[in-house]
């Protein structure tokens, strides 16, 4: 007796995510009931959040499509430049406002995103279940390097961060979500994700060190943690980081 089988072909950078990497991106799966396409894609190592389009025997289908013997399934990643509007993408509609929740081991990426003005929730003591819940309930894109986390069913918007260095990761995320033109540097607190607003010197005078009070007149304050910022050398360093990101984006 032979089991039914389906042939999957993965495209683009999804090939790198296969549990048994094969340059061709082809994986043959046998099955004994009728599993969903989504289950079988994830069994190959690819989280559903990475998939944008699935074709079953040439027709676009959703994640819930049940496999049948002899199916030929093509699995495509997100294409920034390709117009596939005449077929239905499996990924849900993009969230209206790009907001993120980042895994704790992406600390520097979190700070970069906040520096550039993107609302990024992160907390050192959060476990995987909480991260997935926050992503779903607050409609935040879950950023992580942990594949099983993105396979959780409640996560609809997520992204598996590939880069090793934060400097690559920030460029990767901005490109992936088409955010290169949406930077608002220095509008958000790097430490707590609060909003930073201009304040009168008199309002923060009691919080200033004597030398700062003497040399600076332009102040901003975080509405979350209350930190006060002035255009000192720390600010200059961050400005350099922003310029570097801008250069790398082009």
The residue (of 150 and 189) whose beta carbon lies closer to Zn ion is 189
CB of 25 to Zn ion, least distance (A): 45
CB of 197 to Zn ion, least distance (A): 11
CB of 102 to Zn ion, least distance (A): 16
Instruction: Report helix, strand or coil for 237.
Output: helix
- Residues forming the site for Zn ion (CB under 5 A): 189, 191-192, 194, 222, 224-225
The residue (of 6 and 196) whose beta carbon lies closer to Zn ion is 196
- How many residues appear in the chain? 250
**Tokens linked to 196:** 């930073």
Find the Cα–Cα–Cα–Cα dihedral 183, 79, 21, 75, rounded to 10°.
140
The residue (of 162 and 227) whose beta carbon lies closer to Zn ion is 227
Q: Cα separation of 191 and 138, whole Å?
A: 20
Pairing of strands 100-102, 141-144: parallel
**Looking up tokens 């996560």, which residue turns up?**
155
The residue (of 153 and 225) whose beta carbon lies closer to Zn ion is 225
CB of 227 to Zn ion, least distance (A): 5
């Amino acid at each position: 007796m032979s089991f039914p089988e389906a042939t999957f072909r993965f495209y683009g950078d999804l090939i790198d995510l296969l549990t048994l990497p094969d340059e061709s991106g082809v994986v043959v799966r046998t099955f004994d009931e009728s599993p969903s396409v989504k289950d079988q894609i994830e069994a190959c190592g690819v989280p559903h959040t990475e998939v944008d389009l699935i074709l079953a025997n040439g027709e676009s289908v959703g994640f819930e499509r049940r496999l049948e013997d002899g199916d030929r399934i093509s699995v495509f990643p997100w294409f920034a430049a390709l117009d596939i509007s005449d077929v239905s993408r499996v990924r849900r509609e993009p969230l209206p406002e790009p907001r993120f929740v980042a895994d704790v081991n992406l600390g520097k990426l979190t700070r970069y995103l906040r520096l550039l003005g993107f609302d990024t929730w992160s907390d050192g003591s959060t476990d995987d279940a909480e991260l997935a819940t926050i992503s779903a309930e607050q409609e935040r894109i879950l950023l992580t390097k942990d594949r099983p986390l993105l396979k959780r069913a409640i996560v609809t918007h997520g992204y598996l961060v590939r880069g090793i260095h934060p400097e690559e990761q920030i460029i990767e995320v901005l490109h992936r979500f088409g955010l290169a033109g949406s930077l608002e540097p220095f509008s958000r607190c790097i430490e707590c994700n609060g909003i930073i607003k201009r304040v009168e010197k008199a309002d923060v005078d009691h919080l200033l060190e004597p030398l700062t009070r003497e040399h600076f007149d332009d102040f901003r304050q975080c509405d979350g943690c209350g930190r006060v910022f002035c255009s000192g050398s720390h600010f200059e360093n961050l400005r350099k980081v922003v310029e570097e990101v801008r250069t790398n984006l082009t």
